Amino acid sequence: MKKFIIPVIFFCFTGFLFAIDVIGPVSGTWTSAQSPVNVIGEIELPVNQQLIIEPGVEVNFSGHYKFNIYGRLLAIGEEENYIEFTAADELTGWHGLRFFDTVSNGQDSSKLVYCILEYGNATGISPDYRGGAIYCANSSDLVISNTIIRNSKSLSAGAGLYLDSSDIDINNTVIYGNEATGAGGGIFMLNSSPTLDQVEIYDNSAYYDGGGINCYSSNPVLTYVAFWGNSTQWNGGGISAYNNSTLNITNATIAENYSPQDGCGIAVLYNSSVNLMNSIIWDNYPYEIYVSNSASLTVDYTNVNGGQAGITSFGTLNWLAGGNLNVDPLFVDPAADDFSLQGNSPCIDAGNPDPAYLDPDGTRNDMGAYNYLQAGIRGLVTVTSGDGNVENVLINIYEANTDDLVATVNPNAEGVYFITIDAGVYDITAYLAGYFPYPTMHEDVVVYESQLTTGINFNMNLIAQGSIYGIITVEGTGNPENVLITAGEEETNPTYNFVLDIWWYEIFLNPGYYDVTASLINYQDTIRTDVLVQSSQQTTGQNFHMIPISFDGTVTGTISLLGGTGNLEDVSIQIEGDDDIYHPDEDGFYSITYPGGYHDITASLEGYTSVTLRDVIIVENQTTPGVDFVLINWVPVTGTQYSMSRLVNLTLDGQFICGGMNNQVAAFHTDLENVETCRGIAEWDENGYWFIHIVSDEQQGEEIYFKIYESYTEDIYTSIGALEFEDCTYSDLVYCFYVPSPVRMHTYDLIENWNWTSFNLFPDDYAFSSILEPLTPDDIFQIKTQGSFYTYEYGEWTGELAYLNLQDSYKINMFNAVEGFQYNGTAINPQLYPIVLEEEYNWISYIPLKTLALEQALSDLNWPDSLMIKTQNKSAVHFAEYGGWIGDLQTMEPGVGYILYWPNEIPEGEILYFTYPPNPCYSGPEEEERIFAQQPVSTPIWEVMPGTRFNMIMLAEILDNAGNALDYSNYTIGVFDTDGNCRSIGKSYNDLLYFTIVGNDINEELQIRLYDHITQEIIYTNYSILFEIDAVIGSPAEPYSTRLNAPENNIPNLFGLEQNHPNPFNPSTFINYTLPADGEVTLEIYNMKGQLIQTIVNEFKNAGRYTIEWNAAEFGSGIYFYKLSSGELTEVRKCLMIK
């Protein structure tokens, strides 16, 4: 809920009579009579010039133009007459308000008051790609008040606002729906110290740090600021404090923000500090606050989800425990974006008690961004005895000396009640059934404007119970003893009086009014309302007569006839077991009342198919609608001599057409004179096929095909393919046919180098020269499968792999990455397309249209020990003694290529095959999944090298220096080559580590490294392994074993510069390097022209391994080179920044 700005905004325009077009320099006044002001090119407010924009003016940018401001802008609207900055084309947008160097001009502050800024779009190169709606550089003299900044974008940082050395004031403002490709979805600030007061920042997103705001070397002050629904793919869903920033945050609500990495609510990083007071940090998924090892956080009088445990801190955490909470803040309605506090919230009056922080109503400060105004009445209710619930006490407030009820309220679990009420004089009472209050009434309670009246307390004292008495009679065969009598929270059953021959009941209750209910299974409930119970008295005459309920329900539907000249009113509808026959009206509608239960219902008409819908549920006293029938004028010919029977399956869009609903199948033959006759109607068998008896006058040879009515699409299909009629034959075989299906389009995203892929659609053309034609001539080099290849060189394809086999998987070698490669075809029914296996390695495709769990996808196979399946960089091996499948491959996905290793011997002459699980019966088209090339495995620390051709598997254990098994939970564990490329990230199983190790060349030397999340050190093991294609090293029983080196002994043997990570990056990346000896070291950054642009290391260093972060925020997108030098040794690598 928007608390700081009126959510309904009225725009008052005088019309378009005097609309003006502007371009170039502007100044003076834009009046409401000139609205809309159409910006038809770049405009500029020059130095020492002033532009006034009157309330109600719409500034409409007809194209993607900037408004550059060097002078003073006064855009001051009114509460119900906003000024709007917008774009004619919402997609293209406009280039925002861009303030430059206004501090140095000595002029008064610009002001944006009661304005709307929307559809800003910052694109281009630096600095144009920053600040979607507002960009400020050296422009502190700006005040933004009562303004909405929304739905703007930035190719780099600050989709809503970008502040560079600009200490502006923002108050009573809403910033929402903005999206930054870089950092700071709502606000990005660099070297700035803005003040934010009563600001809502929500539903903004950024790819990099700070979904709500990102603070880089900045010191903002935030007071009464709310963050919710903001998201990032990096750190700080709500707030990111970075690089020596200091944030003072008072009375903030930070809730339901998201980050997949560190600090979903707040991320405090790299020498930054955050001071939190009187705030609420709640339900930020999955982590509330993160503090890096060089940062600090102070928390005082703040409600944090999880308490101190809800903060992941590797730095300095000052948890001032006396006033902090870990309790549900009781927001009013978070689902509706209302993060204000309910009246019983524990955050009310829970903030810093210092009078300097008092709420506007004079009470102690409330935690969070939204004060709970406590002008009204507050008191305490105490239940002195008995089991009465204080929350059920009803506080009644009357106009003094009258019976005019003004309001009611219930206390919370602690007995505290509060109600906001107008100034006046009131009488106040308390009521709880079974209790009397002391005092009975607070009379002439005075409530003053904007003040809280307290001490209006009640003690509730238990009083004696009374009872309700009555007689029960039951019509029919029901047992009176089973009648249940309920009143309030009490219940009882009748008792038989032998002398009077009656069933009677008595139920004891606290004084009050009650609704009394008598119920009995299969009988109508009977209710007596407002029965008075008085203390120590019996209320008599409350008798009940129980009447049986009707068991009938109603089923309705519509009959449709396809073809022929049949009359709807002649259709016969019959329920199994009922001798009555029902007919629809002239429109085909029918309604049948019949006892409840599951029933088979049949509709029939001479000259048409008969359709039976099974297990239709009829519910007592309810209507079951939509039980519709479609009858088709398919009638088998009569008087024939010969017949045969067949079992048939039919596939539409990769799914079987099953019985049920109105699906119907019939056999047909067309003679030489093109006369088509029906030869039989199929019946659905619950074993999963259609059974059909087919007739003919020819003993054999006639071609029999099938027609299918499919009820979801309401279409009639003709089978692809036919049977040959042969008299007196029956086959246990199920004959399978496809019907014409829609063409699907699968979209592949292919990466540079190798991609393990498969195809699961029937294409029109199986030739790879046709399928892969969109990738020629520049992007593709080769496609290969097991034992054959196809290479594209010099404008033509060569090799023996010319055609697609849908059972096989393939490796595609790409010169360039390609997004959106399209492959078209019709869906395959997995049950009709077995995958044939040979001993050892099999390159197999994945046929289903949906992702399945590995166990489900391979459920048709027996799983021998050492059965293995793998993708480009994931794998799994089956070990029965170890509990089944282990590995990092857990699902099988469309478009991915798989290699399956069958470890057992296949007897000569036998064929080993399996099928993937069937798709469900056809009920409409399946949703399609976008198909990606196998994406690299990554963590925030390391990323596995993509695009490799081969892999191997290793099952390992790591021992500490004492020979004990390591606790893997504190580590990220990877395998690396000598160039520093990550080849695998391990998955732990108790004391076992599982690695799928990627590579291209045999005998590459590999080593295990560990990243310690506590000390943030990289630890090396003391053994190496060699890369071997398709090898499996170790087993659960005998894993490959290695030991840690102590960190101080980790002196490398070689001079080395590793590939930066992440890469590509924006705006920072990490570079690892190793020094075998002490010496002077430089690490330099060069641009594409070979120009030195930055030196990030230039000092003497001891031998060892080092990691340094390069922050390239001041540079543009592009390719850069980094060079490591020490003595006569140098090494250079390339990296890519994309903003």
Indicate the range of 15-24, 275-284, 715-724 predicted with least confidence.
15-24
Is the per-residue pLDDT at 920 higher than 50?
yes
- Whether the pLDDT of residue 408 is over 80: the answer is yes
239 versus 525: which is more confidently predicted?
239
Q: What is the mean pLDDT of residues 352-357?
A: 90
- How large is the average pLDDT for residues 829-842? 92
Region 154-166 average pLDDT: 96
How large is the average pLDDT for residues 577-585? Answer: 92
Residues 245, 268: Cα–Cα separation, whole Å: 9
Which of 716, 633, 645 lies closest to 683, judged by CA?
A: 645
Task: Flag whether pLDDT at 915 surpasses 70.
Answer: yes
- CATH number for the region 554-632 comes to 2.60.40.1120
Query: Which tops the pLDDT comparison, 686 or 241?
Result: 241
Rounded (5°) CA angle 281-939-286? 20
**pLDDT surpasses 50 at 1012:** yes
Nearest Cα neighbor of 373 from 386, 358, 384 is: 358
Per-residue pLDDT tens digits for 58-102: 999 999 999 999 999 999 999 999 999 999 999 999 999 999 988
CATH architecture type of domain 466-548: Sandwich (2.60)
pLDDT at 1046: 47
Average pLDDT over residues 607-630: 89
Q: How confident is the model at residue 938 (pLDDT cuts 50, 70, 90)?
A: low
Separation of alpha carbons 185 and 190, rounded Å? 14
Checking if the pLDDT of 1006 tops 80, the result is: yes
Cβ distance 692 to 665 under 8 Å? yes
Q: What is the pLDDT of residue 535?
A: 81
Say which CATH architecture domain 950-1045 belongs to. Sandwich (2.60)
Question: In terms of Cα–Cα distance, which of 260, 306, 311 is closest to 285?
Answer: 260
Q: Which two tokens stand for residue 736?
A: 């399978």
- The pair of structure tokens assigned to 862 is 């027996």
Residue 748: Cβ-neighbour burial (10 angstroms; 0-12, 13-18, 19+): buried
pLDDT of residue 222: 98
Residues in Cβ contact with 676 at an 8 Å cutoff, skipping those fewer than 6 apart: 668, 669, 670
Computed over every residue of the chain, the mean pLDDT equals 89
Beta bridge partners of 416: 380
Residue 1051 has pLDDT above 60, yes or no: no
Query: Where do we find the tokens 């101080």?
Result: 1048
Question: Topology of 376-462 in CATH?
Answer: Immunoglobulin-like (2.60.40)
Parallel/antiparallel/unpaired status of strands 110-113 and 72-76:
parallel
3-state helix vs strand vs coil in the chain, percent to 5: 5, 50, 45
The residue to which tokens 């798989």 are assigned: 898
Q: Which of 443, 454, 432, 442 is nearest to 384 (CA)?
A: 432
- Please tell me the least confidently modeled range out of 148-157, 480-489, 973-982: 973-982
**C-alpha distances in Å from residue 655, one per residue of 690, 707, 850, 923, 946:** 15, 16, 12, 9, 35
3-class secondary structure per residue, 431-459: ECCCEEEECCCEEEEEECCCCEECCCCEE
User: What pLDDT, in 10s, does the model give residues 797-824?
Assistant: 999 999 999 999 999 999 999 988 999 9
Q: Determine the pLDDT at residue 934.
A: 54
What is the phi/psi pair of residue 788, to 5°? Answer: -155, 165
Which residues fall within 8 angstroms of residue 368, CB to CB, at 6 or more apart?
226, 251, 252, 253, 278, 279, 280, 303, 329, 339, 341, 347
Q: What is the structure's pLDDT at 635?
A: 92
Bond preceding residue 864 cis, omega within 30 of 0: no
Residue 744 DSSP one-character state: E
Enclosing H/E stretch for 854: helix 854-857
* Confidence at residue 948, expressed as pLDDT on a 0 to 100 scale: 87
Tell which residue, 806, 796, 800, has the closest CA to residue 826: 806
Cα–Cα distance between 162 and 216 in angstroms, integer?
Answer: 11
Using pLDDT thresholds of 50, 70 and 90, give the confidence band for residue 926: low
pLDDT-based confidence at 476, cuts 50/70/90? confident
CA distance 1129 to 1139: 33
- Which pLDDT belongs to residue 11? 35
What's the pLDDT at 6? 36
Query: Which residues, 6+ apart, have CB-to-CB distance to 436 below 8 Å?
Result: 460, 461, 463
Q: pLDDT category, 14, cuts 50, 70, 90?
A: very low
Superfamily covering domain 1056-1137: Macroglobulin (MG2) domain (2.60.40.1930)
pLDDT for res 511: 81
User: In the predicted model, what is the mean pLDDT of residues 178-197?
Assistant: 97
pLDDT at 3: 44
Q: How confident is the model at residue 13 (pLDDT cuts 50, 70, 90)?
A: very low
**3-class DSSP state for residue 308?**
helix
CATH 1.10.150 fits 642-739, yes or no: no
* Residue 692 neighbours by CB under 8 Å, 6+ apart: 645, 646, 647, 648, 665, 666, 667, 680, 681, 682, 683
Q: Evaluate if residue 521 carries a pLDDT over 50.
A: yes
Per domain, the residue ranges of the chain are: 192-370, 376-462, 466-548, 554-632, 642-739, 743-920, 950-1045, 1056-1137
Same fold, 466-548 and 950-1045: yes
pLDDT (0 to 100) of residue 1052: 60
Rg (Cα) of the chain, in Å, rounded? 39
Q: Which of 224, 201, 198 is nearest to 214 (CA)?
A: 201
Residues in the chain: 1139
Q: How confident is the model at residue 935 (pLDDT cuts 50, 70, 90)?
A: low
pLDDT band at residue 464 using 50, 70 and 90 as cut-offs: confident
Q: Assess whether pLDDT exceeds 60 at residue 259.
A: yes
Say if residue 1054's pLDDT is above 80.
no
